[in-house]
Amino acid sequence: MISIETSFGLRDRVAVITGGASGIGKACVQALRECGVHVVSADRTYAGGGKADEVYCDVTDEQSTRRLAQHSVNAYGRLDIWINAAGVMEVIRRTVDQKPEEWDRVISVNLRGTYLGCKEAATVMQRSGGAIVNIGSVAAMAGIPASTAYGPSKAAVATLTRNLACEWARLGIRVNCVAPGYIDTPMSRELFKDDAEVRDTALSKVPMRKLGQPMDIAATVLFLCSSAAAYITGVVMPVDGGWSASAGAR
């Protein structure tokens, strides 16, 4: 019998995961390590120093992102997988009350950060191919009041994914995007503000009526990085308990 691990072909691959200290990124770090991947986890929360293979990176900073790619090459001699999971949510308020600086902050981490990550990954991967997975959001797929930065940043991540997939296909670099729905992480806890009513209203729009777990996203990321997805590039895959399928119906 062929084991999942063998058919996924991930053992001894080398991966960089941004946002690796928390939530979805952290689950990706764990899932890939379980499959025998050498993972460099990168996050700005490692500013005070982390364990081995925990590297400080501010994804909005070109030099910082370049050093991260170089770290994986120096440590392991290669780079096969890059997962852009670092992201921030905006402070939800009426658009007319939003400061442009807040808009810039969200666009900078979610879009510029993903762009820089893809660029530095491909600079190394153009030699021998690889797989890039961007974490988008279903917030890119519908009109959400007072989400003038987050939703548009994730819509742009989806378009960036498709464009880069087409540009880099001939280099053997696959670029895909996972679009999570409501996932139980510090980010969604901040959104729900420990308010059960806010959470239940959100869940009433999810056909499966529950939050996803970070591992639900990590499992899809793992698949997209693996040789099981060798012919998949440029897709934006919702993992959302049916949220995007329901088109707002309850």
To the query of whether residue 150 is one of the catalytic residues in this protein, the response is: yes
Q: Rounded to the nearest whole angstrom, what is the least distance from the CB of residue 80 to ligand NDP in the complex?
A: 21
Q: Spell 167-180 as b/e; 16+ CB within 10 A means b.
A: ebeeeebbbbbbbb
Residue 160 as a binder of ligand NDP (CB under 6 A): the answer is: no
Residue 87 as a binder of ligand NDP (CB under 6 A): the answer is: yes
Site string for ligand NDP, 206-225 (x = CB under 6 A): --------------------
Q: Rule CB under 6 A: choose which of 186, 201, 209, 230 binds ligand NDP.
A: 186
Q: Rule CB under 6 A: choose which of 81, 165, 183, 222 binds ligand NDP.
A: 183
Q: Which stretch binds ligand NDP (CB under 6 A): 6-14, 159-167, 177-185, 222-230?
A: 177-185
Q: Rule CB under 6 A: choose which of 86, 125, 224, 237 binds ligand NDP.
A: 86
Residue 69 as a binder of ligand NDP (CB under 6 A): the answer is: no
How far apart CA 19 and CA 121 sit, in angstroms, is: 15
Q: Rounded to the nearest whole angstrom, what is the least distance from the CB of residue 198 to ligand NDP in the complex?
A: 13
Between 183 and 236, name the residue whose CB sits nearer to ligand NDP: 183
Of 35, 30, 33, 27, which Cα lies nearest the Cα of 6?
35
Residue 109 as a binder of ligand NDP (CB under 6 A): the answer is: yes
Q: Rounded to the nearest whole angstrom, what is the least distance from the CB of residue 34 to ligand NDP in the complex?
A: 18
Q: Rule CB under 6 A: choose which of 180, 205, 238, 241 binds ligand NDP.
A: 180
Distance set, CA 96 to CA 92, 93, 99, 100, 147 (Å): 12, 8, 8, 10, 12
Q: Rule CB under 6 A: choose which of 88, 146, 155, 228 binds ligand NDP.
A: 88
Between 59 and 122, name the residue whose CB sits nearer to ligand NDP: 59
Please report, as ranges, the residues that interact with ligand NDP according to CB under 6 A.
Answer: 18-19, 21-25, 43-45, 57-60, 85-88, 109, 113, 135, 137, 180, 182-183, 185-188
* Residues assigned a catalytic role: 150
